[in-house]
Structure 1
Amino acid sequence: MAASPLQASHPMSAKEISLKAADFQFNPFIALRYWLRTADTLLREAHIYEREHNDPQAYLLLMRYANLVAEKFPEHPAARLPENRQAMKAAQRTLLEVLDRLEVLKPRIDMRYRSWQKTLERRKEAAAALEGERPPSRSRLEYAASDPAVAGNSMTLAAAENSELAVKMAHMEIRRRDAARRASRHTGVSEEDEQERRTAGLWDDWEAALSQDGQRSLRRDDQMQLNMEASRRRLDGSHDILPEGLNTRPSKAPPRTARPDQRSVDRNDRQRNGHSEYRYPSIAKSQPFTYDEDSYNTRARSNSPRRVLLPPKPPKEKLESSGSSIQPPRKPNKSLAESVDSPGVSASTDPSSFTFRPSAYLENGNPLRTVFLPPTLRSEFLAHAAPNTRRNLETCGMLCGTLISNALFISKVVIPEQESTSDTCDTINESAFFDYCAAEDLMVLGWIHTHPTQTCFLSSRDLHTHSGYQIMMPESIAIVCAPSKNPSWGVFRLTDPPGMQSVLNCRKTGLFHPHDEANVYTDALRPGHVCEAEGMEFSVVDLRP
């Protein structure tokens, strides 16, 4: 039965959100281009949350961006390389506007928090006057209070249990955004301004500028360093976070940041591992946190992964032979009218009036937003991949979509230009893919690829590829289609921990190398954070020549 709309226990203060924003691991061994794309994703998400009036989550994402740019990026070994100089300068320019936006959001957040504190005090006084009164159990809500996206919101809904509402609302919102983009093209808005408004910080094409700018610039580097130091001082002096003299300039979408080196994500290391056999990682069930209503505590369900020893030199790492870890498609969920008690909520309701709760949690306890996946997406993608599949060649596509009310909706599969073998698929001409995403205001939510003759699993090189996506967005998924095997498909993510850390710290090469951890990746379908949503509209866009 679907959950009723609820209010998460209380809002968070700006100081609490700031501490949470700083709670992430920065790995300098990850290529700087991935971190730059991560920063861009943070800006895009923050812009959407702010547009939906979800100030706490926008504040968290902007704070994390500021921490990355001001504190972490200068420490990266590649930060001063010529090929990254332009991107670093663009990020620094954007940082100044981000700090201004934080100054606008902070008083709104703290005002709401103080209002809640006063209300709580009055309720306590009233409760104390009523002898023997017991407060109701709020264990689910207390846990949600640590997530700024839902803490203190007037109404939160369980996304998966209300998928019919979510799909209808997503269709309306996506059409509204499309109409707004089309209208902007008839109002004399320049192409550059339109791009900036749409993307809130997607990559610019900076390679050409770099070739002209190459030799200018110890003075610019020195100025950039001074700006970094000034930004750090602003952050250090404002951990609560910002000075009293607040800038009241209206918040606006940040300028576009620069696109980092658009080298292909290389899954095609062609030197095979020379060992005759080793133990491959097995896949465990997704392990979301569950709520114990009686004890007010959360606990995690855990399944011990099994290891499977395979024959010598297999072309891919094998998934557990049992198909039990792959969840069959579920029946469409009840509509909101049948599942919640609020008649005022419908598909036409403004997305800013309610928020979808996280549907699962990482192994470290961090929330995962629901990803809505069209059930027919796999078959449509396989139809486009069929010519390659018949020739025993892999095909890959990018899962793109948008963020609405704290849930992620996959609305397009974009097939970029690529080069394939029986075991690998490398994207080429990535600039065309990013240009398309910019024009359509799309976020990258993961990827999908085929195993023409192999089983359904993530190879060691697949794991390294996916770590780049999951760094950018924890909810990113990898869909594997193995049409000739059973199970024929799966939806996966890296465990965190231990999978993300194991893969990111791995320095081994070759297509078929083992990782030290057994539980490297897991099924992301429910009870994970991915929900198949009947009726979710999508399209396949083939950019191949």
Structure 2
Amino acid sequence: MARKVDVDNRIPLRNYYRIADNLLKQANIYREEKNIIDLYIILLRYSSLVSETIPFHRDYQALYPKERTSFRKKLSSVLDELEALKPEAQRQLHDRGRVEVKDEPSLHDGEKRAPSASASFQEWPTANNRASLSYDNQRQACTAQSSWKRNDNYSLVPSTSPIDKHFQKLNLSLPLPKQETLSRHSFLGPNGLHGQWLGSTTEIKVNYPINTDLASNEVSSLDQDGKYEIVTSRDGDLEVEKSAMASVLSLDDGRWSSLDKESARPFDDEVRDIFPLVRQPSPPPVLAQVQPEYLPISPSKVADPRPGPAKSFSDGTASSNSYQHLHIPVKMMDDFLRLAQKNTSRNLETCGVLAGTLKNRVFHITTLIVPKQESTSDSCQTLNEEEIFDVQDKCSLFPLGWIHTHPSQTCFMSSVDLHTHYSYQVMLPEAIAIVMAPTDTSSPHGIFHLSDPGGVAVIRNCQQRGFHPHEAAEDGSPIYEHCSHVYMNSNLKFDVVDLR
């Protein structure tokens, strides 16, 4: 029920301990709410993390001895609680599996399903067989009957209405990012991910001599595809000109080594008499830092830069692979755009951190943290991470994701964005990435996350930095996709903490 998480040494060890602490925080909430199933799952995750993941981190034995001892002690009590909870958790899971959902309860007041790629608020239809709506069809679906049904435990199950069957026949028609954007973020050249990389070419060929003793008529000249020839001297001394060229092109034709060594010895003896030989110590060997060589990815294997459709839940039961709902304040994204307006007008990105609380199996974003940061037109780097942790710890908040702008680009996630979000999704599977693209009229914002396990595995195994293409996931899934567990809540209030 709890899937083992492979350790990633790029993530600091302290972040893994923060994950363990957040799991215990979730467990306390579920325990108070008498939510046996989720409590059991979270404790399983904690035991796997502390016993199977953290000990394999390269810094485990060297850093944070207090945390190492503390979490190992807590593991013992967690294992005892798991044994006590196991019979009841199994019974409830069995009973829940037999429940048939017949009615569709309405959402709570103020809740709307989060839009995946358009400004209108609506629900995503079922996405079986990777079928999805085009953006135009999504707007038409606003008035259609909802293609999702919910049970009393907030679990989503797909319905099989005629509208759903119609949607399942639609092809994926998400708008492509602009060609200019793709060319900037691709190593495949100006043709984007569908072009062939063309190596550098040169029109000037230099034919170097291969014989140590060159005849005058064997000296080659600079050949520029017949455009240029060597200009000889006016006196017609062609042999002298060729001889000079041969001496230039030949770095060592043997004449330097033909000097009589014996004739040079008297001079060497005189030098030694005047300047005694002083032997300098040899410098110590230095370990060379060799950058790994990354083989280019075949264009046919490069992952699609567009997001995949939102996935439907296979059933209504809770499991370690399902996402709990996450609510976003409706006005938060507009307020963030106003905070970022100064940078946006200068074509600079702005980023913020999303944090919130957990209640009744639902995460609520209640705080927008704007950290100190360094920005460019296509990247944004947070500074002083400890300040972000202090805000989260003092207010007992969960890290729920991040938000950033694309001032002049389309709404998509670049390779740098994918690696950034990977660290958030490792902290919490429900974490989201919101992209605000004010100049993209077809999709001004998007709410994404990495597909799991396909996309998560691709980013975990990728060691490259900067902008680069990714290889498609082994299971054929997109690397990232629209979120299916996010709702817009008009009644949810939030605070802004600007650390700049």
Scaled to the shorter chain, the TM-score interval is 0.5 to 0.7
**Corresponding residue to 1:63 among 40, 44, 58:** 44
Instruction: Give the corresponding residue for 1:315.
Output: 184
Instruction: Give the corresponding residue for 1:340.
Output: none
Task: Report deviation, 1:369.
Answer: 0.8
Task: Report deviation, 1:50.
Answer: 1.4
Task: Report deviation, 1:421.
Answer: 1.1
Contact kept? 2:448, 2:480, Cα under 8 Å = yes
1:75 aligns with 2:56: yes
Which range moves more in the overlay, 92-101 or 436-445?
92-101
Cα 1:500–1:137 shift into 2, 3 Å: closer
1:500 aligns with 2:448: no
The within-5 A match list for 1:85-96 is 85-86=63-64, 89-96=66-73
- Per-residue CA deviation, residues 185-224 of structure 1 (Å, 9 max, x unaligned), is xxxxxxxxxxxxxxxxxxxxxxxxxxxxxxxxxxxxxxxx
Task: Report deviation, 1:476.
Answer: 0.8
Contact kept? 2:374, 2:381, Cα under 8 Å = yes
How many Å separate the matches in 1 of 2:369 and 2:458?
29
Q: Which amino acid aligns with 1:314?
A: S
The within-5 A match list for 1:92-491 is 92-104=69-81, 106-107=83-84, 110=87, 138-139=99-100, 161-164=106-109, 290-291=157-158, 310=179, 314-316=183-185, 366-486=321-441, 487-491=443-447
Task: Report deviation, 1:510.
Answer: 2.3
Q: Which amino acid aligns with 2:465?
A: T
Instruction: Give the corresponding residue for 1:31.
Output: 11
Q: Which amino acid aligns with 1:533?
A: N
TM-score (normalised: structure 2): 0.57
Cα 1:536–1:96 shift into 2, 3 Å: same
How many Å separate the matches in 1 of 2:54 and 2:172?
38
How many Å separate the matches in 2 of 1:311 and 1:140?
48
How many Å separate the matches in 1 of 2:93 and 2:380?
53
Instruction: Give the corresponding residue for 1:513.
Output: 469
- Per-residue CA deviation, residues 388-409 of structure 1 (Å, 9 max, x unaligned), is 1111111100111111111111
- Per-residue CA deviation, residues 408-433 of structure 1 (Å, 9 max, x unaligned), is 11111110111111111111111111
Instruction: Give the corresponding residue for 2:153.
Output: none
Contact kept? 1:55, 1:105, Cα under 8 Å = no
Task: Report deviation, 1:106.
Answer: 3.9
TM-score (normalised: structure 1): 0.53
Task: Give structure 2 stretches of 5+ with no counterpart.
Answer: 113-129, 135-146, 149-155, 162-166, 187-191, 194-303
Contact kept? 2:24, 2:43, Cα under 8 Å = yes
How many Å separate the matches in 2 of 1:50 and 1:324?
36
How many Å separate the matches in 2 of 1:378 and 1:72?
35
Cα 1:112–1:439 shift into 2, 3 Å: closer
Q: Which amino acid aligns with 2:486?
A: V
How many Å separate the matches in 1 of 2:41 and 2:6?
16
Contact kept? 1:375, 1:532, Cα under 8 Å = yes
How many Å separate the matches in 2 of 1:64 and 1:502?
22
- Per-residue CA deviation, residues 369-402 of structure 1 (Å, 9 max, x unaligned), is 1111111111100111111111111110011111
Task: Report deviation, 1:469.
Answer: 0.8
Cα 1:484–1:504 shift into 2, 3 Å: same
Q: Which amino acid aligns with 2:184?
A: P
Q: CA RMSD in A?
A: 4.4
Of structures 1 and 2, the larger Rg is shown by 2
**Corresponding residue to 1:532 among 488, 492, 495:** 488
Secondary structure at the counterpart of residue 163 of structure 1 = coil
Task: Report deviation, 1:537.
Answer: 1.0
Task: Give structure 1 stretches of 5+ with no counterpart.
Answer: 1-19, 121-135, 142-155, 168-281, 295-299, 327-356
How many Å separate the matches in 2 of 1:107 and 1:323?
42
Q: How many residues align?
A: 334
Contact kept? 1:139, 1:292, Cα under 8 Å = no
Q: Which amino acid aligns with 2:485?
A: H
How many Å separate the matches in 1 of 2:45 and 2:308?
38
- Per-residue CA deviation, residues 243-266 of structure 1 (Å, 9 max, x unaligned), is xxxxxxxxxxxxxxxxxxxxxxxx
Contact kept? 2:307, 2:481, Cα under 8 Å = no
- Per-residue CA deviation, residues 262-313 of structure 1 (Å, 9 max, x unaligned), is xxxxxxxxxxxxxxxxxxxx9977999844689xxxxx97976888794597
Contact kept? 2:365, 2:494, Cα under 8 Å = yes
- Per-residue CA deviation, residues 137-180 of structure 1 (Å, 9 max, x unaligned), is 73459xxxxxxxxxxxxxx997xx4232879xxxxxxxxxxxxx
Instruction: Give the corresponding residue for 2:497.
Output: 541
Secondary structure at the counterpart of residue 347 of structure 2 = coil
- Per-residue CA deviation, residues 65-101 of structure 1 (Å, 9 max, x unaligned), is 1222223222233323x3xx11x54143123134225
Task: Report deviation, 1:447.
Answer: 0.3
Cα 1:137–1:36 shift into 2, 3 Å: closer
Cα 1:407–1:358 shift into 2, 3 Å: farther
How many Å separate the matches in 2 of 1:68 and 1:323?
29
How many Å separate the matches in 1 of 2:351 and 2:308?
25
How many Å separate the matches in 2 of 1:365 and 1:473?
12
Contact kept? 1:397, 1:449, Cα under 8 Å = yes
How many Å separate the matches in 2 of 1:541 and 1:325?
33
Q: Which amino acid aligns with 2:372?
A: E
Q: Which amino acid aligns with 2:84?
A: P
Which range moves more in the overlay, 377-386 or 493-502?
493-502
Contact kept? 1:28, 1:77, Cα under 8 Å = no
Query: Structure with the greater relative contact order (CA < 8 A, sep ≥ 6): 1 or 2?
Result: 1
Task: Report deviation, 1:365.
Answer: 8.8
**Corresponding residue to 2:482 among 507, 516, 523:** 523
